[in-house]
């Protein structure tokens, strides 16, 4: 039985990833930052999908808390085979108006947090496993007001192939999934309906992505079928460019 640690799993893409991995037969540690009730909802959904699950509260930028989350995986399920870092923070502003405190908050979660998760995963994931990060297609689309957020996620993409190469000899894959506009609270908050409708029309498929769309790509990369994909950033965005 494979064991997965999924951060940011109390809602949105992270929750859908946890459920998809549970349905694929994984035991899942549901990592969350601030909402125990939402995390327990995810635990219930994973169990309904057929997997075992426990919740673990951890700020991804706190190395002690992250180590504790991996310790829980080992205690409850025997180890870690898959790590998915879906935790993220998005604060939008034109560069000229960007509050540097907001920039620091994003970089703490999105860059430091990704490195803390990557470091623990590199130490703990069993040979043959998979590590998946979550970026954003805005790194390529470069929408106005997204500079701080895109910069923080660009760092995640830059790390991906390097970590894959550093894990040579252990049969561990490292990939990043970069969603386009996806119907999650993180994306929808603060946007008017006209903006949402405009973005939904951009891909040739003419809709927003759903969390389940992204979860399917992550589950593939975490599966034996996806194991030949390594060191890549996969833009799961319906064809928006």
On the 0-12 / 13-18 / 19+ scale of CB atoms within 10 A, 82 is buried
> Could you report the per-residue pLDDT of 157-203, keeping only the tens digit for each?
999 999 999 999 999 999 999 999 898 877 777 778 888 888 888 89
Give 4-35 pLDDT, tens digit per residue: 999 999 999 999 999 999 999 999 999 999 89
Asked whether residue 47 is domain-assigned, the answer is yes
State the Cα–Cα distance between residues 157 and 135, nearest whole angstrom. 7
**58 vs 14: CA distance, rounded Å:** 14
Residue 223: C-alpha distances to residues 15, 24, 101, 115, 189 (Å): 18, 9, 39, 23, 32
- The model carries a pTM of 0.95
Number of domain units in the chain: 1
What number of residues does the chain have? Answer: 241
Examine residue 180 and state whether it is found in any structural domain, yes or no.
Answer: yes
Verify whether residue 149 is a known catalytic residue.
yes
- The answer as to whether 197 is a domain residue is yes
Query: Is residue 219 within 8 Å of 24, Cβ to Cβ?
Result: yes
In a domain, 40, yes or no: yes
241, part of any domain: no
Residue 191: DSSP 8-state: -
Domain contains 105: yes
Q: Is 31 within a domain?
A: yes
In this prediction, what percent of the chain has a pLDDT beyond 70?
A: 99
* Residues with Cβ within 8 Å of residue 182, at least 6 apart in sequence: 12, 13, 208, 209, 210, 211, 213, 214
Range of the domain at 117: 3-236
Active-site entry in 70, 146, 149, 220: 149
Question: Per the domain annotation, does 11 fall within a domain?
Answer: yes
**Domain of residue 143, CATH code:** 3.40.50.720
């Amino acid at each position: 039985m494979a064991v997965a640690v999924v951060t940011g799993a109390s809602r949105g893409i992270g929750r859908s990833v946890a459920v998809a991995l549970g349905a694929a037969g994984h035991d899942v540690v549901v990592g969350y930052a601030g909402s125990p009730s939402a995390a327990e909802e995810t635990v219930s959904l994973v169990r309904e999908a057929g997997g075992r699950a426990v919740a673990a509260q951890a700020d991804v930028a706190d190395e002690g808390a992250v180590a504790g989350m991996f310790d829980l995986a080992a205690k409850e399920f025997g180890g870690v085979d898959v790590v998915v870092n879906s935790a993220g923070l998005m604060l939008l502003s034109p560069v000229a108006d960007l509050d540097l405190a907001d920039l620091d908050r994003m970089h703490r979660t999105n860059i430091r947090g990704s490195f803390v998760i990557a470091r623990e995963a590199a130490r703990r994931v069993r040979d043959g496993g998979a590590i998946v990060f979550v970026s954003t297609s805005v790194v390529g689309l470069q929408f106005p007001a997204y500079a701080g957020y895109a910069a923080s996620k660009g760092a995640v993409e830059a790390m991906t192939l390097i970590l894959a190469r550093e894990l040579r000899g252990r049969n561990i894959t490292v990939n990043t999934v970069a969603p386009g506009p996806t119907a999650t609270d993180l994306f929808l908050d603060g946007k008017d309906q006209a903006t949402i409708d405009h973005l939904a029309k951009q891909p040739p498929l003419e809709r927003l992505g759903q969390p389940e769309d992204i979860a399917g790509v992550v589950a593939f990369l975490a599966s034996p079928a996806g194991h030949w994909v390594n060191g890549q950033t996969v833009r799961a965005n319906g064809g928006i460019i």
